[in-house]
Every structure is written in structure tokens, then in C-alpha cells.
């Protein structure tokens, strides 16, 4: 694991965007695995800024996202489809039809998951996977469990994740209870992984993931076995690191 210490959220965002830019510049037709959540928003903003300056070109890039709420219409402002369009896709020159997310509108979980696995295989795997981390150590929606997941699957969100995500909804009851998520095996098969973390509420999860035992009870801990992991975190998120 290579750790990049950032002073604050802005610095974390710029450092993470630098790593993504380097990937796009070195391999213009790369496959980027992307993430939603509050943490990567600043990273996407920075990428848009560099794109507008003419320093970045996404015309050959393909993107695959980690997850999507099950049963969420795309046009709903809480869907990850909507999030990605608003925070990145609508502002850069990604080609239409080259950005993929699990289909949250597909009620048949088995179909939604196998279709998404087919997409990931078809694009040839992921060159760089961006990840946030949950307060419980989840990556994507791979929640703490007694085993590591393989490919895309449907998950029941844990109370901790529902609690963390309720801030985006009017009431807690509105938070979807299930999601489709890329599995741990797929994440581990990405050539490079970039994990971003900001704020004190991520400090314990970050410590447990990189200094605790590798266990499905802390899904991100599996990253200790990945050869090319870059962690970009701010001082607050690093406050429990040795």
C-alpha cells in the first residue's frame, strides 16, 4: 500500500485526481472504476477543471461504477446514475454508451448482476478502481460479512450504512434497503486501486483495514493483499494510523 498524506479534503481531492489523470494520460483508452459518495466529489471537480483547461481527454475512456441502489429510478436525484451524471459525466467528453453502472431499475437481481458482470468482462477488466470507504470498512456496498464476495451481487444494506446515507434523503425510511454492488473479487482484479478517505469518522475503518487482520468483517482489509493500492487520506482520516 502506498499512502499519500493530504492536509485536508481539498488536498486529498487534488492528489487523487492527479493519480486518475496519470492513468488517463498513460492509457487513454483505460477502464476507470468509479465511486459515489461525498468523498470523491472534490476529485471529480478537479478532473472537470483539468478537462476544461484542456489537460485531460476522456474520449477513449470507459467507466464502470461500483454500485447502485436497487429499485431506484435513474432520474431520482439519489440514484448513483444521477450522481455520476451531475458530478462528472455531463461535464467531460466521455463518449455516450461508454459509462456503465449496475441497472438499479432491473427488479430481477440475478439478471441485473449477471448483466453487469458481463459488462465488466466485456470491457476487459478495470485499470484503476476508485474507492471510498464506509465507516464500517465497506467498499462499494460490500458490507461486513462472514465471507468475501465474488462478483456483482445484491446486498442488504447494514443499519450503519443506512444511518450514514440517510442524510441524503428526507426520511430514514426513504433510504433503499438493497443495492447491487460489484464484488470484492472484481475489485481485487483491478490493476490498481485508489482509496480516498476524509474526516475523523473514517479513521478507525482506515486503521482496521490496513493495520488489522484481513477479515470479511472489515471488507476493505482485503486490500492488504492487492499489489497496487494507493491510499489518499487527509489528516483527520489518518489520525489513528501509526
By beta-carbon proximity to ligand PGA, the closer residue of 13 and 39 is 39
**Residue 152: all three cell numbers together:** 456483482
Distance of CA 209 to CAs 27, 91, 152, 204, Å? 29, 33, 22, 8
Q: Which stretch binds ligand PGA (CB under 6 A): 6-14, 32-40, 42-50, 187-195?
A: 32-40
Q: Taking the complex as a whole, how short is the minimal distance between the CB of residue 32 and ligand PGA, in angstroms? A: 16
137 belongs to the binding site for ligand PGA (CB under 6 A)? no
Q: Is 176 in the site for ligand PGA (CB under 6 A)?
A: no
Contacts for 67 with CB less than 8 Å, ≥ 6 apart:
36, 80, 101, 102, 140, 141, 179, 180, 181, 182
Those residues whose C-beta lies under 8 Å from the C-beta of residue 79, and which sit 6 or more positions away, are 68, 69, 72, 73, 104
> Is 121 considered catalytic here?
no
Q: Give min distance, CB of 140 to ligand PGA, in A.
A: 7
Pick from 104, 132, 137, 176 the residue near ligand PGA by CB under 6 A: 132
98 neighbors 67 (Cβ within 8 angstroms): no
Nearer Cβ to ligand PGA, position 61 or 130? 130
Which range touches ligand PGA (CB under 6 A), out of 42-50, 82-90, 132-140, 152-160?
Answer: 132-140
Q: What is the distance, to the nearest Å, from the Cα of residue 97 to the centroid of all Cα atoms in its chain? A: 20
Identify the residue whose cell numbers are 441502489.
69
> Could you confirm whether 138 is annotated as catalytic?
yes
Segment contacting ligand PGA (CB under 6 A): 35-43, 108-116, 180-188, 225-233?
35-43
CB 134 within 8 A of CB 201: no
Q: What angle do CA 111, 112, 113 make, to 5 degrees?
A: 90
For this structure, is 226 an active site residue? no
> Running DSSP on this structure, what letter comes out for residue 55?
S
Does 183 interact with ligand PGA (rule: CB under 6 A)?
no
Q: Does 133 bind ligand PGA (CB under 6 A)?
A: yes
Q: Is 33 in the site for ligand PGA (CB under 6 A)?
A: no
Find the part of the chain contacting ligand PGA (CB under 6 A) among 34-42, 82-90, 120-128, 229-237: 34-42
- With contacts defined by CB under 6 A, how many residues of the chain interact with ligand PGA? 6
Any catalytic annotation for residue 127? Answer: no
Query: H helices of the chain, where?
Result: 9-26, 41-52, 80-87, 109-122, 159-165, 184-189, 203-211
Q: Which residues bind ligand PGA (CB under 6 A)?
A: 37-39, 132-134
Residues forming the active site:
67, 136, 138, 143
Amino acid at each position: 500500500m502506498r499512502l499519500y498524506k493530504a492536509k485536508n479534503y481539498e488536498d486529498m481531492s487534488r492528489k487523487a485526481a492527479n493519480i486518475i489523470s496519470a492513468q488517463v494520460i498513460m492509457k487513454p483508452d483505460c477502464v476507470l472504476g468509479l465511486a459515489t459518495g461525498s468523498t470523491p466529489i472534490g476529485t471529480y471537480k478537479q478532473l472537470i477543471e483539468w478537462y476544461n483547461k484542456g489537460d485531460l481527454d476522456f474520449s477513449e475512456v470507459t467507466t464502470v461504477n461500483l454500485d447502485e441502489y436497487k429499485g431506484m429510478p435513474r432520474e431520482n436525484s439519489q440514484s448513483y446514475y444521477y450522481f455520476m451524471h451531475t458530478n462528472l459525466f455531463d461535464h467531460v467528453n466521455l463518449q455516450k454508451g461508454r459509462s456503465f453502472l449496475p441497472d438499479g431499475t432491473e427488479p430481477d437481481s440475478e439478471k441485473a448482476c449477471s448483466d453487469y458482470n458481463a459488462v465488466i468482462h466485456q470491457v476487459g477488466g478495470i485499470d484503476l478502481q476508485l474507492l471510498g470507504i464506509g465507516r464500517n470498512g465497506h467498499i462499494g456496498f460490500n458490507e461486513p460479512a462472514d465471507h468475501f464476495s465474488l462478483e456483482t451481487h445484491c446486498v442488504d444494506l447494514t443499519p450503519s450504512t443506512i444511518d450514514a446515507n440517510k442524510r441524503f434523503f428526507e426520511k430514514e425510511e426513504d433510504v433503499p434497503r438493497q443495492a447491487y454492488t460489484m464484488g470484492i473479487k472484481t475489485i481485487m482484479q483491478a490493476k490498481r486501486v485508489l482509496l480516498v478517505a476524509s474526516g475523523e469518522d473514517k479513521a478507525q475503518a482506515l486503521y482496521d483495514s490496513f493495520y488489522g487482520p484481513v477479515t470479511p468483517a472489515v471488507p476493505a482489509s482485503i486490500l492488504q493483499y492487492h499489489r497496487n493500492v494507493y491510499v489518499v487520506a487527509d489528516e483527520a482520516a489518518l489520525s489513528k494510523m501509526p
